[in-house]
Amino acid sequence: MRFNTLKLNTKEKDFEKKFLNRIRIKNTINTKAQNEVSRIISNIQKKGDKSLVSYISKLDNFKIKNIKEIIVSKKDIAQAYKHVSKIQINNLKKAVKRITNFSKKQLSSSWSFSKDNTVLGEKITPINSVGIYVPGGKASYPSTVLMNTLPAKVAGVRKIFMASPINNIEDHALAIVAADLCGVDKIFRMGGAHAIASLTYGTKNIPAVDKIVGPGNIYVSLAKKNVYGDVGIDNIAGPSEVVIIADKYNNPDWVALDLFSQAEHDELAQPILISNNQKFIDDVELSIKKLLPLLLRKKIITKSFKSRGMFIKANSNSEISDIVNKISPEHLEIMTKNYKSFLKTINNAGAIFLGQYSPEVFGDYCAGPNHVLPTSGSAKFSSPLGVYDFQKRSSIINISKKTAKELSKISVSLALAEGLQAHALAAKLRED
């Protein structure tokens, strides 16, 4: 299988043009999918469970007659455990512990301060209910369950419901066991836009939630985008990305496999290697050609490199930092000898992995920090999913009589400047 990817050098005159063109995602509007999603959401709102049963049978490859069949029962959960080995359960528990311990560090508490008998502060409360969407189909994704559920649990979310297109218990046993270990309150066997609509608006048998998190296909993403405002969402995820900064002191096989770990996600994933050493880049390419034929998903990896991958030869650390900040990648591995120095100059990345023994794959499953990360350059303004996404803040304002006189004068002046008479009068009353 022939390997091909874009090779750039920062010394080239047209480097910037080629580079920017490569990192841009060509967003083509899928009108057909958008229209279908809108229809599904409308039908769920109007007909509830009746439409949901129809869509599950039609789209989820799970034929049902009664809505009650979509609930994963205690008997189903017990059956799932029989299909999971003790080693897998033990490793899930270890991952749960690490992710939970990290999440606890993110927990915020209510706070306040007082001056002149005036109290100002914030009341921190958890979101009441959350829906976790977990992709299904032919694969099981226990890591998605862990990363989306555990921060919500630590935040104190009262009710957590999981939706996943589970057509049989055996193939999805690991995700079901993960949900049980994480304390998910109820698992619904439903996927796609109909699952998102049901969790947003509720049906007779599906509770409406306050926020929906978790990845999915184009129909799930469009549905989340459509219902946002009626319900909270985490983000609209794009294709996966990894940028690796490496030098001649690295093992090219390690770098090649770390690039593969993102490229194998899908054909639009973006694997990028940046180095100040051309020979090392060439060595990584040789490793790729050697290792690629051994992988099951080699076709996807090959297309990923061809359509969106890059090998960039940079000529200084400042150039490297500038390139990374422009990409703002989902995952960034800094494997150079002086990796700590880059932390001072690189500000845009979802997750930063430092050193040769911190591969992105550890972050995917069990290191502790969340693997739900900003994609498509949104790390410029977004953060990883965390406990803070499941907590909300209410401002606390308790003004004393003395402070009210002072604030009244300020408020009257500003309110009149904005032409808001009632505002000014309401403030004026507090002067006396």
Residue positions annotated with a catalytic role:
330-331
Length of the chain: 432
C-alpha separations of 389 from 71, 152, 153, 171, 224 in Å: 27, 8, 12, 30, 16
Contact yes or no for 234/214 (Cβ under 8 A):
yes
Question: Where do we find the tokens 């008997």?
Answer: 75
